[in-house]
Chain A
Amino acid sequence: MNIYVCIKQVPDTETKIKLNADSSGIDLAGIKWIMSTYDEFAVEEALRLRDKNPGSTVTVLSAGPARVVDSIRTALAMGADNGIHIDLPETADNNMAAKALAGALKKETKIDIVFTGKEALDDGAAQVSQLIAEYLDAACATVVLGTEYSGSSVKVRREVEGGAIEVIEAPFPVVVAAQKGLNEPRYASLPNIMKAKKKEVKALKAADVGISDSDQKLRFKNFQLPPPKQAGKKIAGDPAAQAKELARLLHEEAKVV
């Protein structure tokens, strides 16, 4: 089976986000980068599928600046077989990333299944999985919590609004976007970390996969940080006065009643 995983590198969840000088993006200095958490579920699912189907390979792809190779290596250390990096500018949007990933996938001889996270931890757009499927003309199942494979199709359990579970079956090639709960991602063993250091990551340029500036559909103009959290207020007085003051604050300051 030819198994692929598309991953995204995102700022670590503990990062204190600051804006860059012209507020066109975030300040990248000092950021610790990690593989987006949902993508870890995707990698784990790919590895488990490979291990159940001898002769299969798992190839990890990521599109972005040179730093994203570190996250490809993280996936290789978890046990993936091959890595492909597509060099895209820092400003690339979801469409450009999806088209680049699909372009790289099209260069492969045969694709059975492509795993992704259900969304990225940073922009939370949840678009790339579907876009990749569209560019590949493949089926797509998102927010996936469970899988059951046959040789040429997959039956997935996916979460839909209101906590209901939808079961759908899709033929290969298919894009499957993983939700938290699909599995417990493994911790890379030391022998695999060592091996991952030596593995070659195939490098593709944007042009190699047919990407030009016009593929960027979104331009980021202005970012704003959420207003800082205010300290709690303690309302003094007897219960009647406290209730009155609380109602006033909820009405006038919080504007919720």
Chain B
Amino acid sequence: MTWQTFAFVIVAGLAFGYSGYRLSILYRLMKAHRGKANRLDRIGDRVVAAIADVLGQRAVLRKRGAGIMHAVIFWGFLVITLGTLEQFVSTIYQPANFEFIGEVPYRVLLWMQDFFTLGVLIAVGFAAYRRYVIRPEGLGKSHDANVILTFTSSLMVAIFLMNAFHILGANPWFADSLPISKQLSRALATLGFGQETNHALGIFFKWVHMLIVLGFAMYIPSSKHLHVLAAGPNSFLKTLDRPKGMKPIDFEDESVQQYGAAKITDLSWKDALDLYSCTECGRCQDLCPAYNTQKPLSPKALIVDLKENLYRNKASLLAGKGDEVGPVIDENITDEVIWACTSCRACEIACPVFIEHTDKIYDIRRNLVMMESRFPAEVQPVFKNMETNATPWAFSSAERANWAEGLNIKTMAEGAEVDVLLWVGCAGAYDDRNKKVVRAFASILKKAEIKFAILGNEEQCTGDPARRIGNEYLYQTLAKANVETLNRYKVKKIVTACPHCFNTLKNEYKEFGGHYEVTHHSQFIAKLIAEGRIKPTKALDESVTFHDSCYLGRWNDVYEQPRKVIGALPSVRLVEMKNNHDQGMCCGAGGGRMWMEETIGKRINVARTEQALDTKAGVVASSCPFCMTMLSDGVKTKDMQDKVKVLDIAELIDQATP
């Protein structure tokens, strides 16, 4: 046993012991969460996704510059860590090394290590340039980042110096496989040290390298660099499908006394893993419509603040005193933060490590609404309307079918034999502007000779606004009533012009026994056009820009059909806004924001309208009644209503179809 073995075993033992202890605390904090999350289904899909997203860096590479930078560092560390491992092993027991894999593979490994050491050094240089010179807003300032960049670059420099002095001091047989280090050794040779000095310096820098690695290991659990351990598992345990329903609450279960998250530990262990995975890259914040219009919500800050809240309660949780944990709403996570979310899901789509921000916000809202009756005052009449008349607006359910007067549209109650049920939605039923959209869509259905009917006064709000605002109880009352009605008429196929109804009917009624084939009218019209059942012939010599609805796009991956529908108009020119497809910006109405005042910062609908006006298009096309309202208001605010029309895709097609 040499002094090196002795020293290394003690130092590494202490370092890994400390690191392991810190990780065990994080594990215990994770286990202290009460919420449930089942993420061990479909293992095969999970393995495939994790290989692509972690090893392949798929999600990270969605952002070009920073993505490539990260991928180089990540792959570099994979390769270099093999070298570090070899170093550890041979320090403990000198003759042991990785040469047993054969000369050629060993040379390839070393060669890769040499090049990746330079690659990582360049990437870290770019990271520093980005962070300190370009300074993208999303990154912000981070003490952690300073430490990590110093650590990482020092590691690479230490490796080069170690290799170079080793080459000078010991001239190993594989020196040719370390071309960059060898080049460096030539430069260092000019220093004129003797062979023994060079040998000693080689060992010195090996220790510098090993000690930095061990220091890093100790630093990781308490820093944002924890993502190197958490993000991989988090990617493996992610929600696999893009469309996802909100977690239902079982109100029959009398053992549950707390609905939603009052404390951080009311969230699930997976939520905690989300917090551990965040590396504060700021991609979520860059796309957040609330953050970009000066609201107090930043999805990144929310995650950081939740983590801080969890750590603040560490002592109580480790002592098993869960009841001493403070509220999740604190000086950072205020009520305004929680209510600012439009649930557009841009943050989740942007996140390279699959953090699910919206679920946490929903859970916190559930507690505020159901347990504490604490929500913006203007929401109370919305709940009352939904309770009394099954619509968020103040209208009688007896008036629900008034939009169809004179159109000769049958209701299911009249025993109509139908191909498809037209789900009108509250906006289509009661809002004057959106009534026109539903009439246009009904007209298209008639022109295509589709047999359809409506539920008429039997239709109720799907409950989506209540659910997104946090009133799961009210949502379930409405959902169960609708499922009962739909199942009574044995409805199989549903089409709707409202993406919120679409999402709820399609993804969120299953848990209440409602299984239907649900299509959005954009998909339905696209199919009618493709099948030649609708032939838009009237030219529209105009440029049209399409605004993606969040609940159609990001929640359900429907981006192309509405564009195909617009493209079917003769002479039309489709122009995209700065933010489009999954990078599209919310109109500001999702997540129940449709019914809340917007008093802080710039209005989201105006910001989005400005993007639409920037395209110089004469028509802003929408496929969602809420977007329609928000964009129409936005165009009026900008005093452009005489020059720019906001139209639903159904109106465009109906106008153009004889």
**Which residues of A pack against B, CB within 8 Å?**
12-16, 30, 32, 34, 184, 186-191, 193
B373 touches A12 (CB 8 A): no
B396 touches A186 (CB 8 A): no
Beyond contacts A13-B394, A16-B396: 8 other A-B pairs, Cβ-Cβ < 8 A, are A12-B389, A30-B398, A32-B389, A34-B384, A187-B373, A187-B375, A187-B380, A189-B371
Query: Top 8 A-B pairs ranked by shortest CB distance?
Result: A190-B370, A14-B396, A187-B373, A189-B373, A32-B388, A12-B388, A187-B380, A190-B473
Nearest Cβ on chain A to B411's Cβ, whole angstroms: 15
Q: Is there a chain A Cβ closer than 8 Å to B181's Cβ? A: no
A190 touches B259 (CB 8 A): yes
Q: Is there a chain A Cβ closer than 8 Å to B257's Cβ? A: yes
B389 touches A14 (CB 8 A): yes
Chain B neighbourhood of A12, CB < 8 A: 388-389, 396
- Would A191 and B371 be within 8 Å (CB), given that A14-B394, A30-B398 are in contact? yes
14 intermolecular pairs with C-beta atoms under 8 Å apart: A12-B388, A12-B389, A14-B388, A14-B389, A14-B394, A32-B388, A32-B389, A32-B396, A32-B397, A34-B384, A34-B388, A184-B377, A187-B375, A190-B370
Nearest Cβ on chain B to A88's Cβ, whole angstroms: 23
Chain B neighbourhood of A32, CB < 8 A: 388-389, 396-397
Q: Is there a chain A Cβ closer than 8 Å to B595's Cβ? A: no
Chain B neighbourhood of A30, CB < 8 A: 398
A16 touches B259 (CB 8 A): no
Closest to A187 in B: B373
Q: Is there a chain A Cβ closer than 8 Å to B77's Cβ? A: no
Chain B neighbourhood of A191, CB < 8 A: 257, 371
Nearest Cβ on chain A to B377's Cβ, whole angstroms: 7
Closest to B249 in A: A190
A189 touches B372 (CB 8 A): yes
Nearest Cβ on chain B to A100's Cβ, whole angstroms: 26
**Which residues of B pack against A, CB within 8 Å?**
257, 259, 369-373, 375, 377, 380, 383-385, 388-389, 394-399, 473
B394 touches A186 (CB 8 A): no
Q: How far does the alpha carbon of A191 sit from the alpha carbon of B258 in the complex, in Å? A: 9
- Would A189 and B396 be within 8 Å (CB), given that A14-B388, A14-B389, A34-B388 are in contact? no
Chain A neighbourhood of B370, CB < 8 A: 189-190
Nearest Cβ on chain B to A182's Cβ, whole angstroms: 15
B399 touches A16 (CB 8 A): yes
Q: How far does the alpha carbon of A13 sit from the alpha carbon of B384 in the complex, in Å? A: 11
Nearest Cβ on chain A to B109's Cβ, whole angstroms: 61
Closest to A12 in B: B388
A190 touches B371 (CB 8 A): yes
Chain A neighbourhood of B259, CB < 8 A: 190
**Most chain B C-beta atoms within 10 Å of own C-beta, residue among A30, A187, A193:** A187
Q: How far does the alpha carbon of A189 sit from the alpha carbon of B375 in the complex, in Å? A: 12
**Most chain B C-beta atoms within 10 Å of own C-beta, residue among A14, A184, A186, A193:** A14
A14 touches B395 (CB 8 A): yes
The contact of A15 among B371, B372, B396, by CB within 8 Å, is: B396
Q: How far does the alpha carbon of A13 sit from the alpha carbon of B393 in the complex, in Å? A: 12
Q: How far does the alpha carbon of A149 sit from the alpha carbon of B385 in the complex, in Å? A: 34
Chain A neighbourhood of B369, CB < 8 A: 187
Nearest Cβ on chain A to B123's Cβ, whole angstroms: 51
**Most chain A C-beta atoms within 10 Å of own C-beta, residue among B369, B373, B397:** B373
Closest to A18 in B: B398
Chain A neighbourhood of B372, CB < 8 A: 189
Nearest Cβ on chain B to A106's Cβ, whole angstroms: 34
Nearest Cβ on chain B to A10's Cβ, whole angstroms: 12
Chain A neighbourhood of B375, CB < 8 A: 187
B373 touches A186 (CB 8 A): yes
Q: How far does the alpha carbon of A252 sit from the alpha carbon of B384 in the complex, in Å? A: 44
Nearest Cβ on chain B to A208's Cβ, whole angstroms: 31
**Most chain A C-beta atoms within 10 Å of own C-beta, residue among B257, B369, B383, B388:** B388
Closest to B394 in A: A14
Chain A neighbourhood of B394, CB < 8 A: 13-14
B398 touches A16 (CB 8 A): yes
Nearest Cβ on chain B to A2's Cβ, whole angstroms: 25
Chain A neighbourhood of B373, CB < 8 A: 186-189
Chain A neighbourhood of B383, CB < 8 A: 187
Chain A neighbourhood of B371, CB < 8 A: 189-191
Nearest Cβ on chain B to A148's Cβ, whole angstroms: 24
Closest to A188 in B: B373
Q: How far does the alpha carbon of A159 sit from the alpha carbon of B238 in the complex, in Å? A: 60
Q: How far does the alpha carbon of A32 sit from the alpha carbon of B387 in the complex, in Å? A: 10
Chain A neighbourhood of B380, CB < 8 A: 187
Q: How far does the alpha carbon of A238 sit from the alpha carbon of B395 in the complex, in Å? A: 40
Chain B neighbourhood of A190, CB < 8 A: 259, 370-371, 473
Chain B neighbourhood of A184, CB < 8 A: 377
Closest to B472 in A: A190
Nearest Cβ on chain B to A48's Cβ, whole angstroms: 14
Nearest Cβ on chain B to A47's Cβ, whole angstroms: 12
Q: How far does the alpha carbon of A191 sit from the alpha carbon of B370 in the complex, in Å? A: 8
Q: How far does the alpha carbon of A14 sit from the alpha carbon of B369 in the complex, in Å? A: 25
Q: How far does the alpha carbon of A9 sit from the alpha carbon of B530 in the complex, in Å? A: 55
Closest to A79 in B: B373
Q: How far does the alpha carbon of A186 sit from the alpha carbon of B397 in the complex, in Å? A: 25
**Most chain B C-beta atoms within 10 Å of own C-beta, residue among A12, A186, A191, A193:** A12
Nearest Cβ on chain B to A253's Cβ, whole angstroms: 28
Q: How far does the alpha carbon of A16 sit from the alpha carbon of B395 in the complex, in Å? A: 10
Closest to A194 in B: B251
Nearest Cβ on chain B to A240's Cβ, whole angstroms: 31
Chain A neighbourhood of B377, CB < 8 A: 184
Q: How far does the alpha carbon of A121 sit from the alpha carbon of B399 in the complex, in Å? A: 21
Chain B neighbourhood of A193, CB < 8 A: 473
Nearest Cβ on chain B to A31's Cβ, whole angstroms: 9
Closest to B259 in A: A190
Chain A neighbourhood of B388, CB < 8 A: 12, 14, 32, 34
Q: How far does the alpha carbon of A186 sit from the alpha carbon of B374 in the complex, in Å? A: 9
Closest to B258 in A: A191
Nearest Cβ on chain B to A81's Cβ, whole angstroms: 18
Chain B neighbourhood of A188, CB < 8 A: 373
Closest to A193 in B: B473
Nearest Cβ on chain A to B426's Cβ, whole angstroms: 13
Chain A neighbourhood of B399, CB < 8 A: 16
Chain A neighbourhood of B396, CB < 8 A: 12, 14-16, 32
Closest to A13 in B: B394
Q: How far does the alpha carbon of A184 sit from the alpha carbon of B369 in the complex, in Å? A: 16
Q: How far does the alpha carbon of A183 sit from the alpha carbon of B377 in the complex, in Å? A: 12
Chain B neighbourhood of A186, CB < 8 A: 373
Q: How far does the alpha carbon of A15 sit from the alpha carbon of B399 in the complex, in Å? A: 9
Closest to B375 in A: A187
Q: How far does the alpha carbon of A161 sit from the alpha carbon of B54 in the complex, in Å? A: 74
Q: How far does the alpha carbon of A15 sit from the alpha carbon of B388 in the complex, in Å? A: 10
Chain B neighbourhood of A187, CB < 8 A: 369, 373, 375, 380, 383
Q: How far does the alpha carbon of A188 sit from the alpha carbon of B116 in the complex, in Å? A: 62
